[in-house]
């Protein structure tokens, strides 16, 4: 059976990665894109989230600055921040505090069996 080529598995992969984000951790659109081999297409990750099914912890995906740029797409604009706070993440003015501390890089933590050690992490926070 042939599937539509325009319907890349990329979208499904995005949801899969987002599902794997641990509670209390966050990642960025670009990090997911890079993990999927589309490093320059972070926008597509954001666009994929546009149609994300229920049950996807989309609130754990923010932009590279730790800003809750997608909050406006939730049922209520404050839902994203509230969910993050409920997981122990401080959010002030749509900005995640200590972003580097909560950052979860799929490329670094999904493919390596070694202990987690981030050598380079966002300098925000």
Partner DNA sequence: AATCTGACGGGCA
Partner DNA sequence: GTGCCCGCCAGAT
State yes or no: residue 17 binds DNA (CB under 7 A). no
Of 14, 26, 35, 70, the one binding DNA by CB under 7 A:
70
Of 17, 25, 28, 89, the one binding DNA by CB under 7 A:
28
Tell me, rounded to whole angstroms, the distance of Cα 60 from its chain centroid: 5
Structure tokens given for 43:
């926008």
Of 1, 2, 3, 6, the one binding DNA by CB under 7 A:
6
State the nearest-atom distance from the C-beta of 49 to DNA, in Å.
4
Binding region for DNA (CB under 7 A): 6-8, 28-31, 33, 38, 40-47, 49-50, 52, 58, 61, 63-65, 69-70, 72-74, 123
């Amino acid at each position: 059976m042939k599937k539509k080529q325009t319907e890349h598995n990329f979208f499904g992969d995005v949801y899969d990665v987002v599902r794997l984000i641990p509670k209390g951790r966050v990642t960025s659109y670009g990090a997911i894109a890079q993990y999927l081999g589309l490093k320059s297409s972070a926008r597509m990750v954001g666009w994929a989230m546009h149609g994300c099914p229920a049950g996807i912890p989309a609130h754990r995906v923010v932009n590279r600055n730790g800003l809750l740029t997608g909050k406006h797409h939730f049922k209520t604009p404050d839902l994203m921040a509230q969910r993050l706070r409920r997981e122990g993440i401080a959010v002030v003015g749509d900005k995640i505090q200590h972003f580097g501390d909560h950052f979860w890089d799929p490329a670094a933590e999904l493919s390596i069996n070694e202990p987690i050690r981030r050598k380079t992490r966002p300098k925000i926070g």
